[in-house]
Each structure stands twice: as structure tokens, then as C-alpha cells.
Amino acid sequence: MLPPEIQRIVLLVALAATGYLMILAWTEDMENAKAPVTYEEAPAVTPDNGVAAGSDVPTMTEETASSSDVPDASLIAGEAEAQAVTAAPAEANAARLIEVITPSLRLWINPVGGDIERVQLPQYPVELDQPDLPFQLLERSSRHTYIAQSGLLGREHFDSRGRPTYATTDYEVRLTEGQTREVVLTADIGGALVRKVFVFRADDYLVDLRFEVENQSTSPMRGALYAQIKRDDKPPRNVDTFALAPQPYLGAAFTTPEERYRKIDFEDVDDDGDFEESGPGGWVAFLQHYFLSAWVADQDETNNFFAKRNRDGTYMFGFTGPSKTVAPGATEQWNAQFYAGPKDQKRLETIAENLNLTVDYGFLWWVAVPLFYLLDWLYGLVGNWGVAIILLTVVVKVLLYPLSAAGYKSMANMRRVAPAMKKLQERYGNDREKLSKEMMALYKKEGANPLGGCLPMLLPMPIFIALYWVLFESVELRQAPFFLWIEDLAVMDPFFILPLLMGASMYWMQTLNPQVGDPMQVRMMKMMPIMFTVLFLFFPAGLVLYWLVNNVLSIAQQQYVYRQAEKAQAAKA
């Protein structure tokens, strides 16, 4: 018969192993329950402009040219006079969508209105186990609406007469590395020859947009550029996050004269009504986890930005530029840019001022931004994001060494007075006031500070939170492998090995700390490693790796400081 102590240990080990196997089985069932992502190819639309029922392919129906898609003329920048626009639907629809394929983008344009109705990102697989299926950002289908629209707005001209149907000779455009191509759409709108020109670069997610209007009538025309993102409020597909962790932002963002980065989501529009703000330059973006789309206005013009909810339940986030007059026989031009791709803060910073702020690191951005650039530099040296995280942890630990060493010295003093503390607790256990006085006298005599030991635990917390957002927001770490079973540092460890090692390291650190306080506090502290292990099971593996390495370095530093303190005390004695 085994001794009771051994029986308890065996029972605890058996329970822990059973719990581990149950969690593994649960996560495997959850993964198996996920349906694989599928997209249908975008074929030519049939002569009656219909597609098979339930198709995922954007369709070109009368709804595509709905007047609700055209902003009210009162939104034209610099014109306060309100005038409702009544637009007629397009008279005819083109026979097929325009497809543009580059190494960076696969994009479909609807000739009705010239709207961008689907965007796929070939360099970003939707899942690790579906490497050949690109992530789909924009989409018009029966289950989801997320498109980029643009046109010319006038009180009596252009899109105010109805979304035009453009003609083109380029229905299939392919770009290879280093190429630049223009896709030209043309339409005759009320006596004006309108050319809508998209400029694609093979290795870029940024698309230039140019409207050229030749007034072939005998009277002047006035028009203003509008660009907007139309979207329903459905969450994006295949975005899994831990329910107890901060959630990625889903909504629009603007830059205004008052705020460099202003977020307006669906609830803001529902609760506060339409948003409207004017300012020079600017941009409007729609953000989701790792990716965004954005319309960038002409930076030399004053533009009017807006957010509103349509009667059909969709939302519009966009801008209008100032009106320009096109004299008879003259030609005028309007310009904008459209970005659809990853939250690459280095590229976004070069496109427009403050656009890089869409990589939202939260309130600790001032810590997160330097961390990201340091992490990115380390990755450039070693070529592995996991190794870069380890090196980042070492760098941070070295920088914080003087402060954490002071905290460990305080903990060493607390360890030294722990036996005397225990005697005081036994003597004055029933007299808390007397116990408190005696403890304070002991601390003063021995030069111990019970709060000083909290410093090593508190110092890494801001960095921990900031690094969480770096790992959570930085698309560079999406699907980034480390080694062996860690194939994606941005999601949880599939076998929970790193969280278990992290919990073991926390327990080891706890054995080095002085066990002071009342018995209830001591028991609570002993529960901390278990609580943190359970919490970290579902945290990104890269974040757990950082905390594990931080704990291991802390243990080494703590033991070193303890030995130094013991030597100093022995020499003093």
C-alpha cells in the first residue's frame, strides 16, 4: 500500500493527464467541426444576367445600380445646400465581370457603376491547411456584402442620373511581376464622355483611380468625386479569437482635423446617427483582423467624409470631394486611390498620413510600435519570428535588469526574515494590530520591503500587453511558423506544450519567493500558476513563448541575485 502522500501525487498526476487529454480531444473536435472555406469561381454572367441559385458569385441585377448607393448631393464637399437625388436604375447591364489578376490581387469589377465587388489576396492563404485558397476580403454574394464603390456625383449629371454601365475591351487582365496596367471603362452619360481608369501595379495592393470627363454638350457640367465602402454588419468568416481576450476591431476609421485616428463602427452609426466631417486630404478605411480596405482622397483637396446606414440595413463609409465645373468642349479630371490588403504599417505609412494607425495597438501603442520595429529588425537577422520573440525577450530583460534586480534584492531580504516572520505570526496570530506593528518593526530593522518584490512581476506587464497587441494585430506574424509543432505563432499552441511549460516555470518561480502573509494569501498565490496556465492555453503561442522565456530568464536572474545577497550578508556577518 502506497503512503497517502504518494497516493495524492499519483491521483493529481492522473487527473492532470485526464484533463489534458480531454482538452486535446475537445480542440480536435472543434477543428473538425469547422467547414473548409470554399469560393466559387466568377464565370461570365449568363445573357439574362442571372447565376445559379445560392451562388457565391457577384450578380449584376437592378439592385446593383440602386439609387441608395449614390450619396446625396448635399454631401458634396463645400456645398451645404441640401437637395435630394432621385436616380433611375441603369438601363442595361454588361454581360460579364471584369477580372484583374496580379501577384498581389485577384479582383473583380462590375461594369455597372465600375464597383469593385470582390478582392482576393493570393499571398495570404485563408487557412494553413488550405494553402492554395486565397483570403477573400471584399465580396458581394447572397450571404455577404462588402464592396468598394466610386463615381461622380452631381445635382443633375453623372451618377445622379443613375449608375452608368461602362464598356471596356479588357475583361481579363493579367499582370506579371513589375508590370503596370490601366483598365479603362468608358460611358456616355448625358452628353459627357466619362472614362473611369483603374491603374494596377503587379506588386502592390494600392490601386489608382482616375475619372476623366469630356463635356460634349453645349452647357457646363458640375460634378464631384465620391468613393465609399458599402458593407453589412456581418463578422468576417474564419476569424477565430479567444473569447476572454481582447477582440479585433471591426468597423470604419477616419482621419480628421481633430483626430488622427477616429473609429466609427456599426453601433456608433446606429446609436449616434449619420457622421459627417470635412477636412483636407484624409482617408476612410474599413478594418478587420489583419486586413483593411481604404479609399484615400486627393490630399490637395478639402473633402467631406461620412458614415450612414441605408434602409436595406447596409452601411456606407466614404467621402465626397469638391465640385468641379466642366465647360462645353473641356476635359476635367478627378483622382483617388483604393487599398485592399494586409495591415502593412510600413506600406500604409507611405500612402497617406496617419493611415498606418489602422494597425491598432491599443492604448499602449507607444510601447507596441517600438516593440514591433525591434521585433521586425530581429526577424531580419534570424529569419524566424519565434527566435525573434526569444531575442526580444532577452533584450527587454537586459533593459529592465537594474529595476528587476532591485526587486529581487527586496525579495531576498524577505526570504531572510521569513523565519522571524513565521514566529511573529505564531506569537501574535490572534492580535492583528500587534502583529502588524511587530512586522513593521522587523521590516525596518532588517531593511526589508514587502512591496519591493512586486516590482519584478509588474514590470513586464505593460510589455506583455503591448506584445499581445503586436502579435494580435501585425499581419507579419499571421501563420508565421516557429519550429516543430508550432506552425502559427498567432494562434494557440495545438498541443498546449508551451502553456504547460509556462505554468511549470511560474511554479518554480513561486518556490523561490518568500511565502509571507496570512495562510489564505499563501494558498491564493499557490493557485496562480494553475490559473495562468488555464488562461494561457488559448493565448497566441508567440505570446506564451515570450512569457515562458521571460520566466526562465527571471528564474536565472533571481537565483543570481539571491546568491549575491547571501554572500553580501555572510560578509557583513
| Residue 107 · residue 99 · CB < 8 Å | yes
- Count of residues making up the chain: 573
Q: What is the pLDDT of residue 526?
A: 73
Mean pLDDT by runs of 10 across the 573 residues of the chain is 65 64 60 59 42 36 50 70 39 68 95 94 89 91 91 80 87 92 92 94 96 92 94 81 70 92 95 93 95 95 94 94 92 96 94 93 88 93 94 89 72 68 70 73 65 61 83 88 88 88 87 62 73 84 89 85 73 69
Please report the pLDDT score of residue 506 as a whole number.
Answer: 87
Burial of 45 (0-12, 13-18, 19+ CB in 10 A): buried
Largest Cα–Cα separation, the chain: 107
**Residue 507 amino acid letter:** Y
Q: How far apart are the C-alpha atoms of 332 and 201, rounded to whole Å?
A: 24
110 has which bridge partners? 115
Q: The CATH number of 33-238+248-360 is which of 3.40.50.720, 2.70.98.90, 1.10.10.10, 3.30.420.40?
A: 2.70.98.90
- Residue 86: predicted pLDDT: 37
Q: Give the three cell numbers for residue 454.
A: 512586486
- The pLDDT of residue 530 is 83
Within 13 Å of residue 109, how many CA atoms lie on the same side as its CB? 27
User: Strand runs (DSSP E) across 245-344, as ranges?
Assistant: 251-254, 262-264, 275-280, 283-287, 291-296, 302-309, 315-320, 324-326, 331-342
Q: Where are the domains of the chain?
A: 33-238+248-360, 369-572
pLDDT for 49? 36
One-character DSSP codes across 126-186? EETTEEEEEEEEEEESSS-EEEEEEEEE-SSSBGGG---B-B-S-SEEE--TT-EEEEEEE
The pLDDT value given to residue 342: 96
Q: Tell me what pLDDT residue 91 has.
A: 38
Provide DSSP, 321-335.
-B-EEE-TT-EEEEE
pTM: predicted TM-score of the whole model, two decimal places? 0.81
DSSP β-ladder status, 145-153 and 262-264: unpaired
Residue 260 pLDDT: 92
C-alpha distances in Å from residue 145, one per residue of 139, 164, 207: 6, 20, 21
